[in-house]
Each structure stands twice: as structure tokens, then as C-alpha cells.
Amino acid sequence: VTMVIGVLASILLTALANRTVVRPVAEAAEHLLQIANAEGNLNARLDVTSSDEVGDLARGFNGFVGKLRQTLGSIATLGADVAQASNQLSSATSAVSNSVDKQQMETDQIATAINELAASAQSIADTTSIANAASDRSQERANDGRGVMSAVMNSISGLAQDVQGAT
């Protein structure tokens, strides 16, 4: 009878140990393996049914999973913020590029206009030089004509005196 009681007590203690230690530890190990394999549900919680080491393990597991869920949530939020900032930066870069292209085109147009003005100024300078040379030649011709007119007048005057003296 003592032996039967011993065997029954042994079976009962084994079942109790299995229920209070082995099963909760195996459950925690299974959840950890699922998380490690990226299959785990971070909302999963272990039941805390005791205040011994097994209960401490369950509380520690629940705290770890909660912190992990919170950290991953923060990372997801930061990832969305980075994506939004990247889109804004891309838009700003595109706008700056368009402005630079427009400014380059306007600068090219200004350079072309300046070159055309320089060419016009040179043409005016050349025409002015030609007109100045023609004016100088006209002045010389006018001076030559004055000299000729003066000689003609002197000749006419001399002839008039000769004609008066002969009459």
C-alpha cells in the first residue's frame, strides 16, 4: 500500500510539476520561437498564474513582448516619417532643378541679347566711322571748292579790271 501511495504521489507530483513548470516554460519557449522566426504575434501574452519563478518568467516574457511591440511600432512610425520627408525632399529637389533650368534658359537669353547689342553697337561704331570719314572728305572738297572759287573770283576780277582798263 505504501508503495502504491508512493507511486500515486509520484504521478501526482509529476503531473503537478508538468502543469505548473513544464507547460508554462514550454509555452513561453514556443512564443519566443515564433517571434524569432517572424511568425509570432506580438499581442500574445502568457498567463501569469503564480508568483514563483514560472510566474516571473511569464511576467518577464509579457514585458519583453510589450517593449518589443512598442519599439517596432516606433520604428514603423519613424519609417513612415522618413518616407514622407524623402518625398518632400524629392519634390523640393525637383522644384529647385526646374528653377535652375529656367534660370539657365533666361541667362542664355540675356547673353544672346547682350551679344546682339554688342554687334549693333559695333555696327553703329563702324557706320559712324564711315560717316566721319565721308564728312572729312566733304570738308576737304568744300575747302578745295572755296579755293577754286576764290581763284575764279580773282580771275574774273582781273578780267573785269582789264576790260575796264581797255575801255
Q: Which of 35-39, 116-120, 154-158 has the lowest mean pLDDT?
A: 35-39
- Specify the residue for cell string 518616407: 83
- Average pLDDT, stretch 145-165? 92
pLDDT tens digits, one per residue of 17-63: 777 778 878 887 887 777 777 666 677 777 787 888 878 888 888 89
d(CA 145, CA 9): 154
Q: DSSP letters along 84-111, please?
A: HHHHHHHHHHHHHHHHHHHHHHHHHHHH
Give pTM, 2 decimals. Answer: 0.48
Predicted confidence (pLDDT) per residue in 78-114, tens digit: 999 999 999 999 999 999 999 999 999 999 999 999 9
Cα–Cα distance measured from residue 140 to residue 128, given in angstroms and rounded to the nearest whole number: 18
